[in-house]
Structure 1
Amino acid sequence: MVNRDALALDDPVGQSLRGHHAHFARRLGRTATYLPGVATFSAVSADPDAAEWADLARLLGPGELADMFSCPAAPPSGWEPVFSLEGRQMIWPGSGRPDHPHAATDTGVVELGADSVPEMLDLVARTRPGPFWPRTHELGTYLGIRDKGTLVAMAGERLRPPGWTEISAVCTAPEARGRGHAARLVSALGARIVARNERPFLHVAEANTGAIALYERLGFKVRKHVTFWGLRTP
């Protein structure tokens, strides 16, 4: 049976740009992309024609990255492939919240704001959890854990299709791994998302087996396998 509540997750970028993130959108025709510095994700319609791809090329500019996320549409000739990565889209299926055994006693999780961006960018550069730019933190709440004042772990909210919030940028500094930081942060974000009557979801690279195992322990289930890919505009 089709879970109609999850159909928005088939186009999470487009659904976000048309809804909760409309104020971050640049548009031309039926195409859309995020403002520079916020995200590189772009969206086209479900069955784009050559004119729509031309609109996206004009919107982005020549030789720019079109990060198509998990969009299944194929571009016309002249678009240069940049990357392709197999992954999974995972969702929280329950009515409660993702949790782990020590969530009730956890302390030290802090909210990260604009003043934390240099630290966040440094942590991302060292751990490479996925795309994160100087304004990405504006997409939602970002939480972190510090050790002696140094940011050693973080996670935050990214895409916001109707009824859902994506948990993203889950990362821990190498010297702080094995302490349960990622589980604490995902659980804390999940609790916030569920409290506003939305459901958490996330994306993870197929090769990141450790992260997949963590999300499964927290209760996330695979909704579908996806391919993340990007192109260079003509």
Structure 2
Amino acid sequence: MSAPDVTGDDTHPLDNPVRAALTGPHAHFAEERGRILRYPADVAPWVAIPDVPQAEDWADAAALAGPGGAVTITAFREPPPDDWEITFHAEGVQLVDAGVAAAPFPQAVRLGPTDVPEMLDLVARTRPGPFLPRTVELGSYLGVRREGALVAMAGERLHPPGWSEISGVCTDGSVRGQGLGSGLVLAVAHEIRQRGETPFLHASASNTNAVRLYESLGFVLRRRTSFLSALVPEHPPTRLPGTGGARRDGEARAAAVR
């Protein structure tokens, strides 16, 4: 296949993949207030903030998360207000398929809702990044079992139009070095390709081993990005009357965004 566009065009869906997903294939998950979109708190932590947020945008994000709640952003350009507590900030990379040798993995088994307790346990041991009780609903997840126990997995998370993010890649320490993670990444990439879409992924810029592995599989750097999580103040400001807000009784609602 030909390499995808990696020019960084501002209109590219991967420039703000959370918003692109929540206004596209994942619109049925979207919770909306004003210009803010987010996934349900038990599905994914990501919140879509405008590139240049105004005070009312932060007020809407605070209303969605609730006092003391976390707002987690990728590809952010503006920091949160001074009274928000930043709990996590890391530099990252966004990598895209530029010739990945995608293929099924014979050892892989399909994972679903009944496997979530084991998936959460594996995530707690390996810490691949955010994975919540309903994250499995975002796309296909594959795993490897040894003597019945789940020891490795990978799946899909963000789904901007035409793209799908490979995420949740983790391997138990007892079976590392056996190629299970690579095999699962290639298998998930194969399923994405079979739908006519293009795989991409995010990684911490400091995790050079993971980045080198993904590059060896055929992913290339598209852009550098940042990840941030901040806590809403216990007494956040609210919108002034007449400045908009949620569409129903002042409460955030799930919306299929057009």
Scaled to the shorter chain, the TM-score interval is over 0.9
Question: Which residue, out of 12, 21, 44, partners 2:17?
Answer: 12
Q: Which residue of 2 aligns with 1:202?
A: 201
RMSD, matched Cα: 1.7
Q: Which residue of 1 aligns with 2:66?
A: 61
Structure 1 stretches (4+) deviating beyond 4 angstroms?
3-6
The one-character-per-residue Cα deviations of 1:74-130 (angstroms, maximum 9, x if unpaired) are 222221111111111100024xxx227xx57x4221110111001100100000000
Distance 1:3 1:206, change over 3 A: closer
- Give 1:46 shift: 2.1
The whole-number CA distance in structure 1 between the counterparts of 2:179 and 2:59 is: 46
Q: Which residue of 1 aligns with 2:250?
A: none
Question: Residue type of the partner of 1:162?
Answer: P
- Give 1:227 shift: 1.4
The whole-number CA distance in structure 1 between the counterparts of 2:116 and 2:33 is: 30
Distance 1:151 1:6, change over 3 A: farther
The whole-number CA distance in structure 2 between the counterparts of 1:123 and 1:206 is: 23
Q: Which residue of 2 aligns with 1:172?
A: 171
Q: Which residue of 2 aligns with 1:138?
A: 137
Query: 1:1-234 residue pairs with structure 2 within 5 A?
Result: 2=7, 4=9, 7-94=12-99, 98-99=100-101, 103=103, 106-234=105-233
The whole-number CA distance in structure 1 between the counterparts of 2:10 and 2:197 is: 11
The one-character-per-residue Cα deviations of 1:145-166 (angstroms, maximum 9, x if unpaired) are 1111111100000000111100
The one-character-per-residue Cα deviations of 1:37-66 (angstroms, maximum 9, x if unpaired) are 101111112221111111111111111100
- Give 1:3 shift: 5.6
Distance 1:150 1:220, change over 3 A: same
Provide the secondary structure at the position in 2 that maps to 1:13. Answer: helix
Provide the secondary structure at the position in 1 that maps to 2:88. Answer: strand
Percent identical residues: 49
Matched length:
228
Task: Name which one, 1 or 2, has greater alpha-carbon Rg.
Answer: 2
- Relative to total residues, which structure has the larger helix share, 1 or 2? 1
* Unaligned stretches of 5+ residues in structure 2: 1-5, 234-258
The one-character-per-residue Cα deviations of 1:169-216 (angstroms, maximum 9, x if unpaired) are 100000010010011101111111111111000001122222111111
* Unaligned stretches of 5+ residues in structure 1: none
Question: Residue type of the partner of 1:73?
Answer: E
Could you tell me whether the CA contact under 8 Å between 2:92 and 2:225 is conserved in 1?
A: yes
Could you tell me whether the CA contact under 8 Å between 2:138 and 2:157 is conserved in 1?
A: yes
- Give the TM-score normalised by structure 1: 0.92
Distance 1:129 1:190, change over 3 A: same
The whole-number CA distance in structure 1 between the counterparts of 2:10 and 2:89 is: 28
The whole-number CA distance in structure 2 between the counterparts of 1:75 and 1:3 is: 24
- Give 1:36 shift: 2.0
Question: Residue type of the partner of 1:48?
Answer: P
